[in-house]
Amino acid sequence: MAAEQDFTKRKLWGGRFTGSTDPLMHEFNQSLKYDKRMYAADVKGSIAFSKALLKAGILNEQEQKEIERGLKIVESEWAENKFVIQPDDEDIHTANERRLSEIIGKEIGGKLHTGRSRNDQVATDMRIWLMEESNQVESYLKDLLNVMVSRAEKEVDAIMPGYTHLQRAQPVRWSHLLLSHSQSFLGDLDRLRQLQPRISVLPLGSAALAGNPYSLDRELLRQELGFKSIGENSMHAVADRDFIVEWLQWASLLQIHMSRMAEDLIIYSSAEFGFVQLSDAYSTGSSIMPQKKNPDSLELLRGKAGRTFGQMAGFMMSLKGVPSTYNKDLQEDKEPLFDAVDTISAALRIAEGVIATLSINPEKMFAACTMDMLATDIADYLVRKGVPFRETHHISGQSVALAEKNKIQISDLTLDQWKELSPHFTEDVKDVFNFENSVEKRNAIGGPAREMIKRQVDIARQRIGQ
């Protein structure tokens, strides 16, 4: 009889094959260069699986303890950058199992994969890894929100023009603008939290596609690994990547919100506005124009939105034609997800630093407010005197036209000129032309009045702390 080959030196799937793999095919197929970052998740899943094998009678207590001991050594080697990758290590699962058998011997190490497939193993690793990363991303998002909310609370006195169509519209508070962006990020925080239960579905125990034949206790696996629920269909469990699509979609929307905030701050930091100034830590200069201070941090945040959306769209196209159960196309899930997680994590920390360190110029903000921005307040003034709004809107427009004709501000119109427009105008029309009063009158929920800014801050903090 031919001598038995050492399985630690052959591929996990190699028994049916007699020829060698084309080196180019091995490189094309190999994913260890990027999936090695899941080493801790793979070890965690394998230790839990060994405990389930113990309960199922596949392992005895000594064997399970030895497997757990060996896996912890494997994990420490990765953590200390001492793990030696071998040429035939296709992925993190192959590498870890090969190294485990080297440490504890193939007689025990070879039992770990009993009733388990890389199909349910990789799906489990991805979910464990993403659950942990999502918790970290959530903490970064909360840090950003806390900075935004704190600034809004402290800088409530600053009044600036609010814009529609990038045209001056009505006066608002700087705090109101900042909190408008925080509302988008609060929505992102809610959606990330809602996504977590759909990530936390246990695939382990589904094997390749047809389930485990050893009466494996999947509830034990769920508890050991901290999953919220168990995949109810083994064919679906090994193929499901909807949680990755959802995470990429979530990341794309967050990056869109990041991009829109960055665009506002880029515009407001330009010399033409001068409302805000970025700190040197988040700016760069020009290679030939020494006077330049470029908002590169914000421009990069704006640009990363395209990158993240592209990762999401690319993976969805990879996923759309995959037939039932596991197919190697699904290996394309890792690089876009890893890149999106890295991008989002960095973007949130950069955005937090930008917001925390930028300075505002309340004087320039206030100086940019022009009296024509109070045209709606003129209409509101007449409404309070019983004039229908559609009529007041027309009269207010006439006052703007009259001021433009005379090349003056509407606040400089005389009382006689106001009375020519409507007999309802009296001396108190002059009280309209006060930006602070204008803002404070907008005291319904959602408005920029001080009490509403306080309400927004309080509610935001409640949502962040949930």
Measured CA distances, 133 to 31, 126, 241, 407 (Å): 20, 10, 17, 60
And the tokens for 300?
């990069």
Segments of 177-292 assigned E as strands: 201-202, 229-230, 276-277
Angle at 381 between CA 379 and CA 384, to 5 degrees: 110
And the tokens for 27?
């490189």
Farthest CA pair distance, the chain: 115
Q: 165, 184, 318, 359: which one is catalytic?
A: 165
Determine contact, residues 263/273, Cβ cutoff 8 Å.
no
258 half-sphere exposure, CB direction, 13 A CA radius = 34
| Runs of H (alpha helix) within 56-173 | 61-79, 92-104, 106-109, 118-154
What is the enclosing helix (H) or strand (E) of 394? helix 389-405
Determine contact, residues 66/104, Cβ cutoff 8 Å.
yes
Angle at 215 between CA 214 and CA 218, to 5 degrees: 115
Measured CA distances, 391 to 46, 200, 388, 398 (Å): 74, 58, 5, 11
What is the enclosing helix (H) or strand (E) of 160? strand 159-164
Determine contact, residues 149/457, Cβ cutoff 8 Å.
yes
User: Beta-carbon neighbour count of residue 51 at 10 Å?
Assistant: 18
Question: Rounded CA gap, 225 and 355, in Å?
Answer: 37
Question: Rounded CA gap, 409 and 417, in Å?
Answer: 13
* Whether 176 is catalytic: no
* Whether 286 is catalytic: yes
And the tokens for 224?
């050991």
Q: 286, 287, 399, 424: which one is catalytic?
A: 286
Matching residue, tokens 């113990």: 54
Burial 280-290 (b: 16+ CB within 10 A, else e): eebbeeeeeee
And the tokens for 361?
């110029």
Catalytic residues: 165, 286
